[in-house]
Structure 1
Amino acid sequence: MSIDLADLRHTPRRPGSRQAGDGALQAEKILALQVEIARLEATAAGHRVDFERERERADRLTTELLQATAEATAAKEAAARLEGSLRTGGRSGGSTDGHGQATSRLGHLLADLVEADRRACK
């Protein structure tokens, strides 16, 4: 590919006029960019505050969830111990009187109630 330089028409400008206009235009663009940077920094700062608040909230909720999980586990273990003691409580004493049999039946009823409640909660 070749270019004929005779086809190009170039008229040089005066040396001082071009630089003065370009300098003012560049200063205006720089000022506009600085304003945009300040706006974006303010927006970023607002987002940072939101982020920090939500992170603190998530940390609190995580702590509460861990505590609730520990309490639920302890309650399940206590219910299992209670259920076991109610099922075996009437048998270990070896009592054959009416009071021992009533206690044993009550223990079985309570154990069945606890077991049904545990199934309902699942």
Structure 2
Amino acid sequence: MSTKERIEMMRKRQAYFSAVAEEYTSFADFIKAQEMWLAIMGIELTEHEDYLQLYIQLDFTEYEYYFIIQTPDGTLTVSDIILWQDEVCCNSYLNISTEERADEEDIFESY
């Protein structure tokens, strides 16, 4: 899969996870409703103080992290910033909207 195709698939995953997350206004409610389904699908859900983290192991070397954050209007969404193992096997943050490198601090700035 080319990098362009992989980024397009990331956008589709992010859109799907966002549509699910937007139904909730708290991390606790999201966890209660979605934790089992995510586990069945092989997606690891981890709770952090300011966000939820979804981890997907795609194959032996490829993985992606998506970050569920709370918007100013109180709903949940998935940040446009993801953490992935890029095309040269480096862990890096990427803004999947702009396709530019990002930093961990950008997780809350982009949704």
Which structure's residues are more often helix, by fraction?
1
- For normalisation by structure 2, the TM-score amounts to 0.29
Which structure's residues are more often strand, by fraction?
2
Which protein has the larger Cα radius of gyration, Structure 1 or Structure 2?
A: 1
Higher relative contact order (CA 8 A, sep 6+): 2
- For normalisation by structure 1, the TM-score amounts to 0.27
